[in-house]
Structure 1
């Protein structure tokens, strides 16, 4: 069928599309079959040639070993006769070397012919002759060495050694001739395999050319169809790119507008916090003025406590810096600032050192203010009750996560001790209320330096709903 189709194409006659498609498929499959068949045959021929080459190498090695054996026997015989005629010791060295190589060559030849029973039998048939000849030559050497030259000549004239040597040579010549015949036959077989291999390769190349032509024609049609589709896709892609570019511009404009709004809101929040802090600082200053004009010690104490608390709230608001989400702040930033403000505003600044070890814990903005007030109350109480009569010291504030991951606040001092902070004053009430807002209770104990250490676990610090300081104090 495919031959008729090719004939129709060659004559230019119209051919149905179905017939052309069928002929192309048959040609492709037939070409693939030829290529696979040629590959299999080539592989088989290559393996056969490899085996034949191994056989040829083996035959060459067997033949050369047989020749070396004959040469060694001849060398030993010539050296033995030279020593017998001249009694010159210089003939002994080549004799012994040849005699030593004879045994190894016989053993090697037996091993090489183990796979060929006929040749192995032929080698075994002459081993006794070789042994007899070597024994006869060794006996002759011994007689000459013992100055019994006449006995040695008499032994040689018997002709026994010559007959043995002649039999060995005839057998080795026959052996070598058979190996040469094997080499000739194997070389002819290799030449025949080479001819078949070349023919197979030519057939494979012809089939590959036909297959390549068929595939190229088919590929060309597919490429033309793909080109048409590609052009259509280009037009669609250009339209999509224009639409995407337009939407991208709109998204970028919306994003820029949102970013500007975010920055504006952030600026407003920061400004509001700063204004609140300034207003509270003003209240703190007014309380300080009123403190200066008051003569009652009780009123002065109350005003000083109120001023310190207002100042702590003002400091927390002014030092509060919100994150990118405008709803959280980092505890280490604003608490460090609050402690710095308390340190600089305390009476006789520098007398009591305030040290902070605050981990970077994210808290909500409103909880941050409450946490700042709680820390300020602890520090203020330590400054107020722990260091009377101008006593110097150090207050340490730590905020960290315990082994269970719960935020924990610890304030410790080296002041006069626990008895100075007991009672139900306003500071104690404020501390208890603010701690309960975060789900904790202050635990007082004597510090390692003899002062007071208070620890408050704050499990609700990072997840508590926003509450006002005023509600906490009510």
Structure 2
């Protein structure tokens, strides 16, 4: 039951939309038709007004023609009765106006064959009437009074006047009929124009109502859509706030876990360093109890190497990713530890030239051991007891793009150097191979001393960068 009613509503809505569109189109069409009809009515009314004005002008000219004939006859009779030439002046004026009025009337009715034939038939009578009046005046002027009065008393002039009046009445009568007909048409067109205007107003009212209704529905629909969007926006903002809070909570948890892991790693490195320091102390105790020089040298070398490894673990500071470290900072700390552990009789200073590089933390301790071996070798073999000097440690990328570690001293030189074939040199060689390096390069330094360079082409900087 619910499905049927819902379907009825869904089908009724499109029908109402179609009906509204049809009503709008019909109203607009009716408005356009009414406007076109109004324009046509206006033009028709203008034409009818022009025809009516022309009819009145024809009637006036016909009356003027008849009046001119009457005025001429009046002047003629006045002169014949009184012999006063003052009556000849209106006679002459009327005769002069007669031709002009006739031509004007003829021009007005030139498009009406019936009226035109009437006027053309009137020409002989007008000419005869003018001739009759002119003859009587001529006879009276020449002293032939009896002949003039006899001609006046004859029925010739009367008959001519009757025929002229009859034609003029016919002309005016036809124009009166036309005037009545045109007035009737004017009334019809006026009523039709009023009806057209009323229809246009009704159509405009219907169209306005339809447009207002449609606009109102659109406004309501837009308001509803805006409310839905506002509600959806509020829900989305609430969801975003919830997700943001969850992300912040997860981030805080991750930061805490990272801090805990970093602390754990640092603590582990320190524990390893402390354990190695304990081993170094035990080696020192054993060294103090040993009388053999060979054993003492071996224990002393082992103690130094254990101290180097312990220093590397204690000095290792992990980066934000807990997998990398700054090589320059790390090596600086390792070299400082070596300087602090240097015997008091060694007046040697260290010059560090370390290029900042991010390297994997797993390679840092190995790199620290190599530096420790090379620096210890320089301290042991380059300077005599109490001799002052300088050791230069360089860690940088060469022109060929390969990272190189070099240790230079200004001591006795490579000729007196006996550490090239010892255990330290072997350790450096083995560790350098882990980074793709070859044999360490030994060379005499200008101005005295020895320079040892170890190439490290496979030091994994790319992994550290990623």
Q: TM-score, normalised by structure 1?
A: 0.52
2:244 counterpart of 1:241: no
Q: 1:366 and 2:362 equivalent?
A: yes
- The DSSP-based 3-state class of the residue aligned with 2:390 is strand
Equivalent residues in 2 for 1:65-144, closer than 5 Å: none
Counterpart pick for 1:451 among 424, 449, 464: 449
Kindly indicate whether residue 324 of structure 2 is the aligned counterpart of residue 304 of structure 1. Answer: no
SS at match of 2:392: strand
Task: Give 1:22 deviation, angstroms.
Answer: 4.4
Query: What is the aligned partner in structure 1 of residue 405 from structure 2?
Result: 409
1:372: Cα distance to partner? Answer: 0.3
Partner Cα distance (2:355, 2:211) in 1: 71
CA drift at 1:215? 11
For residues 22 and 365 of structure 1, do their structure 2 counterparts lie closer, same or farther at Cα, with a shift above 3 Å needed? same
Closer, same or farther in 2 for the Cα pair 1:317/1:25, shift >3 Å? farther
Rounded Cα–Cα distance in structure 1 between residues aligned with 2:268 and 2:233: 51
Q: Aligned to 2:373, which of 370, 377, 388?
A: 377
Kindly report which structure 2 residues correspond to 1:281-430, keeping only aligned pairs within 5 A, or say none: 281-348=277-344, 351-419=347-415, 420-421=417-418, 423-430=420-427
* Cα distance, 1:414 vs structure 2: 0.6
State the structure with more CA Rg. 2
Larger deviation, residues 370-379 vs 446-455 = 446-455
Give how far 1:296 is off. Answer: 1.9
Q: Which of 235, 239, 257 matches 2:253?
A: 257
Contact conserved, 2:324 with 2:360, CA < 8 A, in 1?
yes
Partner of 1:412, secondary structure, is strand
Mean Cα deviation higher: 307-316 or 287-296? 287-296
The residue aligned with 2:430 is: 433
Distance in structure 2 (CA, Å) of the matches to 1:327 and 1:246: 33
Aligned to 2:431, the other structure's residue is in SS state helix
Does structure 1 retain, via aligned residues, the 8 Å contact 2:346–2:386? no
Contact 2:381 2:419 in 1 (8 A): no
Give a deviation string over 1:209-246, Cα, whole Å, max 9, x none: xxxxx999987765543221110111222222223322
- Secondary structure (helix, strand or coil) at the match of 1:445 reads strand
> Offset of 1:349 from its aligned partner?
6.3
Unpaired runs of 5+ residues, structure 2, are 1-17, 31-209
Relative to structure 1, the CA distance from residue 395 to residue 232 in structure 2 (aligned partners, 3 Å threshold; closer, same or farther) is same
Contact 1:438–1:458, Cα closer than 8 Å, also in 2: yes
Matched ranges for 1:173-184 at <5 A:
none
* Cα 1:328–1:465 shift into 2, 3 Å: closer
Determine if contact 2:394/2:407 at 8 Å carries over to the other structure. yes
Name stretches of at least 5 consecutive residues in structure 1 with no aligned partner. 1-14, 28-213, 467-474
Distance 1:25 1:324, change over 3 A: farther
Aligned-pair RMSD on alpha carbons?
A: 3.0
User: In the aligned structure 2, how far is the partner of 1:402 from the partner of 1:275?
Assistant: 36
How big is the shift at 1:23? 7.9
Flag the 1:361–1:310 CA change in 2: closer, same or farther, 3 A: same
8 Å Cα contact 2:352/2:394 also seen in 1: yes
Whether contact under 8 Å (1:363, 1:462) holds in the other structure is yes
Shift of 1:439: 0.7
Q: How far 1:247 sits from its partner (Å)? A: 2.6
Aligned length: 268
* Aligned 8 A contact 1:443 1:455 in 2: yes
Change (3 A) 1:352 1:238: same
- Alignment partners' CA distance in 2, 1:464 and 1:432: 23
d(CA) in 1 for partners of 2:398, 2:25: 80
CA distance in 2, matches of 1:393, 1:328: 34
CA-to-aligned-CA distance 1:289-328 (integer Å, 9 cap, x gap): 2222222222221111111111111111001000011011
1:17 and 2:13 aligned = no
Contact 2:414 2:444 in 1 (8 A): yes
CA contact (8 A) 2:262 2:322 kept: yes
Q: Is the 8 A contact 1:386 1:413 kept in 2?
A: yes
